[in-house]
């Protein structure tokens, strides 16, 4: 039996163990320039050439050239595009589905749970003025009243009501954020048109519409996937609804927020602060208006899920899941963690039981 060809378009396993797993199974590997540390690699034309004859594509997030229809059509034998991470916004999933190609991802708890924890860390950094306090003490200062923090929860002693947290997107991450903050006794509201009332009730979150959430919340945190519907979900009109004292946290995808509009709102004092782990262009471009906003923004290099023992780095959970998905597909089996479930029937007609790997 001939070898299966696997194109690793954006590597994430510095140890190479997952690559050796594929090679031991009988795969020939071709590795692109992109990687976890830098999501920019080969352009579309280069990737089309590298994908020719490939049975599988695998990798982490890639920004220089998403996995387009043209790239996938470079190989009639392509069975699966497998991501080491949760997000699939860098894959043309609709085209993959039309072509009968499975897209798998890695919704590991080490990833989405870490995003929830990092979201709360960013929120606390802004509300408690931690960075400014650190800078003041290191510069020889002491106890500036301007660095008074925000108390999050309600207080029975003096009737303080606590802040209102608005969660946009009640998927795994949004739910975990609400669960982690439940003991803090703050009011939590949420917006998600695709989730039932039972989910909101189970996580002690009050369902509201988006304008009400933006106008009421002291902190707005985004936990949505990037789709045509959510692109620039938070732009100038939405920012104008928020309180001048409010904080925006985005650990979802950069394209969800209009960065120019956000920078303008922060400069004009129409919003107090923002924390961003994700950006429309990654790495963040030198000319980005977000870079000149000082302590009004916390900027993180898309690493909120990067924790010891997490899904990436060596044979982490996400890397292992994605590798196992590729091996299953190459053996003619439907892999776990298929994102485009609607493609499975067509895929089965094309590939079920038709192995390009033995064993």
Q: What is the model's pLDDT at position 96?
A: 98
d(CA 200, CA 198): 5
Query: Crossing angle of helices 109-127/317-330, nearest 10°?
Result: 150
Q: Are strands 219-222 and 164-168 parallel, antiparallel or unpaired?
A: parallel
Strand-pairing partners, residue 220, are 166, 248
Long-range CB pairs of 332-337, under 8 A, 24+ apart, other chains included: 332/356, 334/102, 335/80, 335/82, 335/102, 335/104, 336/104, 337/104, 337/105, 337/106, 337/107
CA atoms within 13 A on the CB side of 208: 21
**Torsion angles phi and psi, residue 347, rounded to 5:** -65, -40
d(CA 303, CA 71): 27
d(CA 171, CA 192): 9
The residues assigned a catalytic role are: 253, 282, 302
Q: From first to last of its 359 residues, what are the pLDDT tens digits of the chain?
A: 568 999 999 999 989 999 999 999 999 999 999 988 777 888 999 999 999 999 999 999 898 789 999 999 999 999 999 999 999 999 999 999 999 999 999 999 999 999 999 999 999 999 999 999 999 999 999 999 999 999 999 999 999 999 999 999 999 999 999 999 999 999 999 999 999 999 999 999 999 999 999 999 999 999 999 999 999 999 999 999 999 999 999 999 999 999 999 999 999 999 999 999 999 999 999 999 999 999 999 999 999 998 887 666 667 899 999 999 999 999 999 999 999 999 999 999 999 999 998 76
Q: Are 255 and 222 in contact (CB under 8 A)?
A: no
d(CA 115, CA 92): 24
- The 8-class DSSP code of residue 335 comes to P
- The 8-class DSSP code of residue 7 comes to E
Express the helix, strand and coil content of the chain in percent, nearest 5 each.
Answer: 35, 15, 45
d(CA 30, CA 140): 55
Q: What is the model's pLDDT at position 311?
A: 60
Q: Three-state SS for 356? A: coil
Q: What is the model's pLDDT at position 313?
A: 62
H helices of 130-232, where? 130-138, 172-181, 197-202, 210-216
Q: What is the model's pLDDT at position 312?
A: 65
Q: What is the model's pLDDT at position 64?
A: 79
- Give Cβ neighbours of residue 134 (< 8 Å, ≥ 6 apart): none
Query: Crossing angle of helices 109-127/172-181, nearest 10°?
Result: 50
Q: Three-state SS for 240? A: coil
Q: What is the model's pLDDT at position 38?
A: 79
Q: What is the model's pLDDT at position 41?
A: 83
- The 8-class DSSP code of residue 146 comes to G
> How many beta carbons lie within 10 A of that of residue 66, not counting itself?
16
């Amino acid at each position: 039996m001939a070898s299966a060809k696997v194109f690793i378009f954006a590597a994430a396993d510095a140890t190479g163990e997952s690559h050796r797993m594929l090679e031991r199974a009988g795969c020939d590997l071709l590795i692109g320039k992109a990687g976890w540390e830098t999501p920019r690699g080969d352009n579309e034309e280069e990737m089309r050439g590298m994908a020719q004859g490939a049975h599988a594509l695998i990798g982490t997030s890639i920004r220089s050239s998403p996995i387009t229809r043209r790239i996938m059509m470079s190989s009639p034998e392509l069975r699966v595009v497998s991501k080491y991470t949760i997000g699939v916004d860098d894959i043309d999933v609709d085209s993959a589905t039309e072509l009968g190609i499975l897209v798998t991802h890695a919704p590991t708890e080490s990833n989405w749970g870490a995003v929830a924890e990092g979201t709360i860390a960013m929120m606390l950094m802004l509300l408690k003025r931690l960075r400014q306090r650190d800078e003041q003490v290191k510069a020889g200062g002491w106890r500036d009243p301007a660095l008074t923090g925000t108390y999050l929860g309600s207080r029975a002693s003096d009737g303080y009501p606590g802040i209102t947290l608005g969660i946009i997107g009640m998927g795994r991450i949004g739910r975990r954020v609400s669960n982690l903050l439940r003991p803090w006794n703050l009011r939590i509201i949420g917006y998600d048109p695709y989730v039932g009332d039972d989910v909101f009730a189970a996580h002690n979150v009050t369902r509201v519409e988006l304008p009400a959430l933006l106008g009421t919340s002291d902190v707005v945190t985004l936990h949505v996937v990037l789709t045509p519907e959510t692109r620039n979900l938070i732009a100038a009109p939405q920012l104008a609804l928020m309180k001048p004292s409010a904080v925006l946290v985005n650990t979802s995808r950069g394209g969800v927020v209009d960065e120019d509009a956000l920078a303008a709102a922060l400069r004009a004092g129409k919003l107090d602060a923002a924390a961003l782990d994700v950006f429309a262009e990654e790495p963040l471009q030198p000319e980005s208006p977000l870079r000149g906003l000082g302590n009004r923004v916390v900027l993180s290099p898309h690493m909120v899920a990067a924790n010891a023992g997490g899904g990436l780095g060596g044979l982490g959970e996400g890397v292992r899941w994605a590798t196992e998905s590729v091996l299953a597909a190459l053996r003619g089996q439907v892999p776990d963690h298929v994102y485009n479930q609607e493609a499975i029937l067509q895929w089965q007609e094309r590939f079920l039981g038709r192995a390009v790997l033995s064993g």
